[in-house]
């Protein structure tokens, strides 16, 4: 073998060793545990696969990806060596720690997957069955967990959907995000605690198919949405919109009595009746979004206030707007009337906020339309019905770029 070929083989081995770091399985529940719990988990998985011989390449890669996603202190070879020293005390600790935790369900899924992707013998499956029994997993739970593992192995969204429908009550709140992130579009979790709508490839999802957005936590992630009617989030503790594409018309999102709204890394376009209206919402965070041609036009008498966003409820606690781009957004009247103005291209706060931070944003081609010659301080991106912005402790802006006729952030 030439020196060059040896060199390339070494590089390929390096690539293989680092696949897990590039594509980790991030089990959030396992990640938050201490190293002792992680060690028990991975030592037992390693014991499972090496019971009748050395694990195959796919088995080793799967466990490596789990280890990388959990941010464990040790590495795969370390846990394989530890598995050789497993004793009865370790087994008792494993049953004690995991028997009362949802981690037992994840271990069952991971165990079934890691055995299936390799050439496991009957003895390997018998060992897994014995561990499942000791962990107290019921027959109904096992049927569900095995069906999930089959869907994950085959990357089959229909099987995954069927598995979710057959979930017993004890596993309905189990997050399967890290298993389904590579192939599923739909409702990952739907419980009173969490509603999580997700797409692996940013497919279009009709939010009207899922009624009553009242879960304690609601997450819309990596989906494309063409809004055909207003969607109301009512009484939620937190709503997160992350890496989504929203295409609008005359229907805004509505947030009523929501504790915290986080909108990040989304592209939002063509909302002609505002993107969102907040009523009695405490905290709002806009981060790294792109808004295109969004605004509001008033056709009746009065001031036109709040083009992209409107807070029309009680005073907010905090508003943070950072590193967003706003292109051709507007607030408008259908015609100029003396004494009435269009103001607050980005946001109008009817009763203010205790704190507002606006930093690192770019505004291009945004307008307050049909104000006649009476522009002075009223043409601004953020407004409120009294001049709370003069209080330096509550309003802060820096590193914003305004390209176009409106150059003032605060009224």
Q: What is the pLDDT of residues 312-324, one digit of tens each?
A: 989 999 999 999 9
pLDDT of residue 149: 96
pLDDT of residue 295: 97
The answer to whether residues 238 and 360 belong to one domain is yes
pLDDT of residue 16: 54
Express each pLDDT in 21-76 by its tens digit.
666 889 999 999 999 999 999 999 999 999 888 889 999 999 999 999 999 999 99
The answer to whether residues 132 and 234 belong to one domain is no
The answer to whether residues 244 and 130 belong to one domain is no
Express each pLDDT in 192-246 by its tens digit.
999 999 999 999 999 999 888 999 999 999 999 999 899 999 999 999 999 999 9
The answer to whether residues 128 and 276 belong to one domain is no
Domain presence at residue 301: yes
Output the six-digit token pair for 12: 């390929």
Domain presence at residue 62: yes
Domain presence at residue 276: yes
Domain presence at residue 284: yes
Going by C-alpha positions, the residue among 270, 216, 225 that lies closest to residue 243 is 225
The answer to whether residues 240 and 347 belong to one domain is yes
Position 7 pLDDT exceeds 50? no
The answer to whether residues 234 and 360 belong to one domain is yes
Domain presence at residue 65: yes
Under a CB-based contact definition with an 8 Å cutoff, are residues 64 and 20 in contact? yes
Domain presence at residue 186: no
Going by C-alpha positions, the residue among 110, 34, 28 that lies closest to residue 73 is 34
Domain presence at residue 254: yes
Tell me which residue range forms the domain holding 102. Answer: 3-137
pLDDT of residue 53: 84
The answer to whether residues 247 and 389 belong to one domain is yes
Domain presence at residue 113: yes
Express each pLDDT in 337-396 by its tens digit.
777 888 899 999 999 999 999 999 999 999 998 876 665 556 899 998 765 555 435 889
pLDDT cut 70: percent of the chain above it: 91
The answer to whether residues 107 and 254 belong to one domain is no
Whole-model pTM: value is 0.87
> DSSP secondary structure string, 255-299?
EES-SEEEEES-EEE--SB-SEEEES--EEEEES-EEES-EEEE-
Instruction: Count Cα atoms within 13 angstroms, Cβ side, for 263.
Output: 22
Last residue of a domain, one of 79, 109, 137: 137
Express each pLDDT in 397-411 by its tens digit.
999 999 988 999 998
C-alpha span between 384 and 343 (Å, rounded): 9
pLDDT of residue 300: 80
Number of independent structural domains in the chain? 2
């Amino acid at each position: 073998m030439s020196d060059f070929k040896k060199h390339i083989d070494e590089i390929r081995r390096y690539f293989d060793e680092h696949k897990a770091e590039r594509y980790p399985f991030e089990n959030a529940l396992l990640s938050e545990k201490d190293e002792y719990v992680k060690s028990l988990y991975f030592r037992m998985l390693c014991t499972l696969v090496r019971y009748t011989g050395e694990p195959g390449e796919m088995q080793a890669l799967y466990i490596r990806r789990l280890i990388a996603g959990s941010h464990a202190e040790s590495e795969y070879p370390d846990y394989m060596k530890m598995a050789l020293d497993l004793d009865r005390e370790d087994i008792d600790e494993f049953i004690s720690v995991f028997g009362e935790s949802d981690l037992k369900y994840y271990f069952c899924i991971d165990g079934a997957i890691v055995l299936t992707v390799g050439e496991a013998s009957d003895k390997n499956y018998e060992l897994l069955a014995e561990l499942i029994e000791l962990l107290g997993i019921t027959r109904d739970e096992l049927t569900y967990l095995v069906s999930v593992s089959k869907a994950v192995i085959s990357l089959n969204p229909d099987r995954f959907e069927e598995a979710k429908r057959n979930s017993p009550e004890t596993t309905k709140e189990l997050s399967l995000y890290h298993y389904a992130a590579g192939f599923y579009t739909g409702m990952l979790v739907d419980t009173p605690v969490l509603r999580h709508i997700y797409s692996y490839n940013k497919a279009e999802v009709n939010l009207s198919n899922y009624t009553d957005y009242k879960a304690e936590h609601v997450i819309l992630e990596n989906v494309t949405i063409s809004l055909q009617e207003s969607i109301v989030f009512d009484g939620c503790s937190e709503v997160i919109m992350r890496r989504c594409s929203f295409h609008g018309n005359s229907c805004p999102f509505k947030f009523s009595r929501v504790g915290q709204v986080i909108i990040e890394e989304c592209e939002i376009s063509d909302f002609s009746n505002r993107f969102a209206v907040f009523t009695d919402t405490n905290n709002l965070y806009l981060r790294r979004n792109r808004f295109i041609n969004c605004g509001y036009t008033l056709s009746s008498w009065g001031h036109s206030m709040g083009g992209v966003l409107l807070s029309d409820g009680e005073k907010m606690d905090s508003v943070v707007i950072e590193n967003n781009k706003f292109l051709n957004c507007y607030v408008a009247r259908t015609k100029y009337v003396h004494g009435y103005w269009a103001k607050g291209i980005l946001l109008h706060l009817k009763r203010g906020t205790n704190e507002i931070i606006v930093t690192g944003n770019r505004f291009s081609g945004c307008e307050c339309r049909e104000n006649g010659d009476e522009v002075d301080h009223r043409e601004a991106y953020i407004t409120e019905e009294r001049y709370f912005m003069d209080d330096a402790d509550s309003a802060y802006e820096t590193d914003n770029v305004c390209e176009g006729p409106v150059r003032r952030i605060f009224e």
